Amino acid sequence: MMPLLTTKGLSRNFGGLRAVDSVDFTLMPGEIRAVIGPNGAGKTTFVSLVSGRIQPSSGAIVFDGADITGLPAYIRVRQGIAYTFQITSVFANLSAYDNVALPVQRTLSDSRSKGAVKAGVMSALERTGLADRAHMQAGQLSYGHQRLLEVTMGLALKPRLLILDEPTQGLADSEIDNFVELVREIARSATVLLIEHNMPVVMQLADRITVFNAGKILAEGTPEAIRENAAVQEAYLGTAP
Amino acid sequence: MSEASPAKAYALHLGVIALLFALSFLLPEYYHGLLARIMVLAVFAMGYNMLFGYVGLLSLGHAMFFGAGLYGAGLAVIQLGWNVPAAFAVGLGCGAVLALIIGLLALRTTGVAFMIVTMMFAQVFYLLILYFAVWTGGDQGQVVPQPARVLNFGATSLDLTNPTVRYMSALALFSLVLLVTLATVRSRYGRVLVAIRENEERTKMLGYDTFSNKLIAVVVSGAICAASGAAYALLFGYVGSSFASVQYSILPLLWVLLGGAATTLGPLIGTLFMYYVIDVTSGYTSAYLLIVGVALILLVLFFPKGILGTIRQRWLGWLP
Amino acid sequence: MHFGPHLLLAALEGLVTSAVLALTALGLSLVFGVMRVVNVAHGEFFMLGAVLAWAITTAIGGHPALGFLAALVIAPLIVGAIALIAERLVLRRLNYNPEATIVATIGMLYIIQQLALTFYGPEARPVEPPFNYRILLPWFGYSGYKLSIIAASALLLTATWLVLTRTRIGLIMRATQYDSETAQAFGIAVGRVYGGVFALGAMLAAIAAVLIVPISQAHYLMGQDPLLLSFIVVIIGGLGSLRGTVVAAVLIGLSDGIISMFFSPTLAKIIATLLVAMVLVFRPQGLFGTASR
């Protein structure tokens, strides 16, 4: 089977710091892949490079067999790479409906009917349980609901690869359980790349785990293998509470 | 905002147009010229609002688009002897092409740099008008001759210098632009523009080419302002460099701020109100710019949402 | 006159322009650098300086030098006070939001200009130079006063540079420029620094105007050209860079004289404005700045 995403020697320098240091990474279609690592390990920089928010200093990114290294972010989104932000960045002054309508109307660009947008928005909002809040201003939603809205917007892009950057950060335990269910459901139709600090969530969800440290991949494997890996324990799990 | 009460919004706008139509029969003669002028300048303000209100791009150079329309139409009549519709089209085209060029350059910058760059390009435009005084008439300006300002439809003709015809022409342009604006901001494209204003980075990550969308907005905005300028030349018969000066870049900003940025009717209200203030105060002082200055400062300090923006926030959430 | 002496004369005239321009642009640059505020009313502070210089010298009378010296001290102080009030009443309340402050300073521009027209009038009025010594060069005589402008400007620029780099006040200003939030956390009264910088910026413009007014004239619209030229200098030199500002001022001042020998003033302005707009579009860090910002 052809990998959905590969990076070859992907690097990014900030001044003298090598935030991402020649990373070779492969992601198979249908996977749920978790990326873990201590703060400053380069996880967010790495997914920012994949999504095109920042340009690499060197290296290549291949998505679905095509080199996308030079493509601007919005074209990568159109090709199926969706990114949900670590810091919630929904459009606070727009309604939840409008927030979701933005990705929906773009994926529908062939059809001109207003009904299609409406149906698409409501089905996406129903999937994440926000349908009854459609006409609230996004900024007025609770924090947990804003995070859900962020994911809804990612989903509405109908991505092939959905990148979730610390989606459970700041959520209550009950909300996290729902979230895990949601990600499992998403994974039926999309490949998921998940940056996550919450280890129980990672262990429940991930098919495979990639561990970053100091801009490089330290280890990669199934949750069990990673749990047993001595180097990982030293670098990351050992220091985590 | 976007899905709720479309009927209400359209009814309100058609009501405003009907009211302006009725005013032509109710108001005394003196106000016809004034109101026609206000409607034409409100079109200028609506064009400005398209960019400033909905996309959040603060230009300090929109006088060049108004000026492109004014001189495009005016010089087509004066120098080339073209008829009214052709001259109007020339004005509109000049504005759109200029906006495309300026947009391609200025949109490489953001924020404060965008403001300064647009101001400088407008200054270049203004100085070019002075430099080519042989054709443009320089700072003296030129009169568009009265006989040329007549629309001919075979046997019948419309004399744009006739006060009623002028009023109705201004109203027609105003109504068209108002309804186009309303339809645009309620459309999918309008939603994208607002998204760019609120968070451009996020909009990109939803798969939108924000540069192209902004460029289209600059061209549409420039074309509307040019339409206003072209109509001004043809209806009021004068083209002058002062209309391209920096002051005419500030005025639409003032009108839009006053009426309410990102409201469809705000530009009309702001223009109307400012003219009213000038009319009232002209009895006491000739210091017109003083009023503009004070109004600008008071607006940004205490009233940044403007008249309609505040009304929408407090009472009428459905206002487009 | 031969080409050599002619060039020397043009260069001297250019240096006088540069000297005044450097001071004016430095004020604009400081305000932008530290406060991130684009002060569109900067040219009006310049104009106020010149108009006040006329008012003060007229009121004092006596020997021209007496009135001029008084103007050199008092006019900048008054302008600085006005700027400080404007900063307190308007800019601070806007929280120094870049776009809102531009709109507000446009408002200030109109207010100051209109008040000057109302109280000072539309006439251009001369101020007598403090001394009339002519330096005789082998080819032509040159105004000693003009040379003293260059000296005074160089002195003031050096003083400003020393204050910025060698004193505690300068350190505080640079800290605020670098990161105002951190500066605040370290106990720097950022609001007071901003007020001081805005007043200082206006005062530099006023001093430049007092220096130039004996060889030009005071007029209520005289602030427009210095504003445009200062913008050009600050953009070419890199926003907020002192060294770049001075280099660019000399460059612009010298070329201004030479360009206007070959082109009409309007065409020169068109070319200069267009070039600077292009610099801002394609090299926003200025010609002398580094790309880091």
DSSP states along B101-124: HHHHHHTTS-HHHHHHHHHHHHHH
In chain C, residues with a C-beta closer than 8 Å to the C-beta of B111 are 98-99
In chain A, residues with a C-beta closer than 8 Å to the C-beta of B204 are 72-74, 77
The pLDDT of residue B87: 95
The pLDDT of residue B3: 47
Please, which residues have CB within 8 angstroms of residue A193's CB and are 6 or more apart in sequence?
A5, A27, A33, A35, A47, A50, A161, A162, A163, A164
The pLDDT of residue A185: 86
Q: Are residues A97 and A50 both part of a single domain?
A: no
Residue C248 lies in a domain: no
Under an 8 Å CB criterion, which residues of B touch A?
Answer: 1-4, 188, 191-192, 194-195, 198-199, 201-210
Which candidate in B200, B202, B205, B209 is best for mutational testing of the A interface (most A CBs within 10 A)?
A: B205
Q: What letter does residue B50 receive in the DSSP assignment? A: I
pLDDT tens digits, one per residue of C23-47? 999 999 999 888 889 899 999 999 9
CB B56 within 8 A of CB B261: no
- pLDDT band of residue A95 (cuts 50, 70, 90) is very high
d(CA A80, CA A120): 17
Out of B2, B199, B209, closest to residue A89 by CB: B199
Picking from C195, C205, C52, the residue whose alpha carbon sits closest to that of residue C115 is C52
Which partners does chain B have (≥3 C-beta pairs < 8 Å)? A, C
The pLDDT of residue C243: 83
> Given the structure tokens 């002051």, which residue do they identify?
B247
Interface list for C 44-103 with B (CB within 8 A): 90, 93-94, 98-100, 102-103
The pLDDT of residue B68: 97
Six-digit token string for A218: 């330290």
Q: Which class for C14: exposed (0-12), middle (13-18), buried (19 or more C-beta within 10 A)?
A: buried
d(CA B80, CA B74): 10
Residue C64 lies in a domain: yes
Residue B2 has pLDDT above 50, yes or no: no
Q: Are residues A57 and A103 both part of a single domain?
A: no
**At C268, which amino acid appears?**
A
The number of distinct structural domains making up chain C is 1
Q: Are residues A190 and A222 both part of a single domain?
A: yes
Six-digit token string for A155: 């989903």
Residue A74 lies in a domain: no
Which candidate in A54, A78, A94, A163 is best for mutational testing of the B interface (most B CBs within 10 A)?
A: A94
Q: Say if strands B142-143 and B156-159 run parallel, antiparallel, or are unpaired.
A: unpaired
Residue C234 lies in a domain: no
Task: List the beta strands (DSSP E) in chain B.
Answer: 142-143, 150-153, 156-159, 238-239
Residue C171: give the domain boundaries.
26-222
Residue of C nearest to B56 (CA): C99
Residue of B nearest to C90 (CA): B301
Asked if C103 lies within 8 A of B257 by C-beta distance, the reply is: yes
Asked if B202 lies within 8 A of A89 by C-beta distance, the reply is: yes
For a pLDDT cut of 90, what percent of chain A falls above it?
42
Q: Would you list the DSSP string of B221-284?
A: HHHHHHHHHHHHHHHH-EE-GGGGSTHHHHHHHHHHHHH-TT-SSHHHHHHHHHHHHHHHHTTT
Let me know how long chain C is.
293
SS3 (DSSP) at A212:
strand
Looking at the complex, does the CB of residue C228 fall below 8 Å from at least one CB of chain B? yes
Nearest-5° Cα angle at C121, C120 to C125: 80
Cα-to-chain-centroid distance, residue C187 = 31
Six-digit token string for C20: 């005044």
The pLDDT of residue A67: 94
CB C183 within 8 A of CB C176: yes
Residue A60 lies in a domain: yes
Q: Say if strands A17-27 and A5-14 run parallel, antiparallel, or are unpaired.
A: antiparallel
The pLDDT of residue A89: 84
The Cα-based distances of C188 to B210, B272, C167, C168 in angstroms read 40, 47, 15, 11
Residue A73 lies in a domain: no
The pLDDT of residue A241: 42
Residue A210 lies in a domain: yes
pLDDT tens digits, one per residue of B27-77? 888 888 899 999 999 999 999 999 999 999 999 999 999 999 999 999 999
The pLDDT of residue A113: 65
The number of distinct structural domains making up chain A is 2
Asked if C90 lies within 8 A of B297 by C-beta distance, the reply is: yes
d(CA B269, CA B306): 10
Q: How far is A223 from chain B (nearest CA, A)?
A: 30
Asked if B3 lies within 8 A of A93 by C-beta distance, the reply is: no
The pLDDT of residue C1: 61
Looking at the complex, does the CB of residue B268 fall below 8 Å from at least one CB of chain C? no
Q: Are residues A91 and A62 both part of a single domain?
A: no
Residue C90 lies in a domain: yes
Residue A33 lies in a domain: yes
Element at B181 (helix H, strand E)? helix B163-186
Residue A110 has pLDDT above 60, yes or no: no
Residue C172 lies in a domain: yes
Provide the mean pLDDT of chain A.
Answer: 87
Low-confidence ranges of chain C (pLDDT < 50): 291-293
The pLDDT of residue C52: 96
pLDDT tens digits, one per residue of B129-138? 999 998 888 8
Residue C238 lies in a domain: no
Residue A72 lies in a domain: no
Looking at the complex, does the CB of residue C275 fall below 8 Å from at least one CB of chain B? no
The Cα-based distances of B161 to B39, B73, B171, B177 in angstroms read 16, 16, 15, 22
Residue C262 lies in a domain: no
H-helix segments, chain A: 43-51, 73-79, 96-107, 114-127, 143-156, 173-186, 199-205, 223-228, 230-232
pTM for the model stands at 0.88
Residue A30: give the domain boundaries.
1-67+163-170+185-241
Residue B285 has pLDDT above 70, yes or no: no
Among A63-67, A210-214, C179-183, C278-282, the minimum mean pLDDT is found in C179-183
Average pLDDT, stretch B261-266? 93
Element at B300 (helix H, strand E)? helix B288-302
d(CA C281, CA C286): 10
d(CA B60, CA C102): 10
Residue C142 lies in a domain: yes
Among A216-225, B150-159, B307-316, C11-20, the minimum mean pLDDT is found in B150-159
Residue A240 has pLDDT above 60, yes or no: no
Looking at the complex, does the CB of residue C31 fall below 8 Å from at least one CB of chain B? no
d(CA B59, CA B55): 11
CATH of residue A196's domain is: 3.40.50.300
For a pLDDT cut of 90, what percent of chain B falls above it?
66
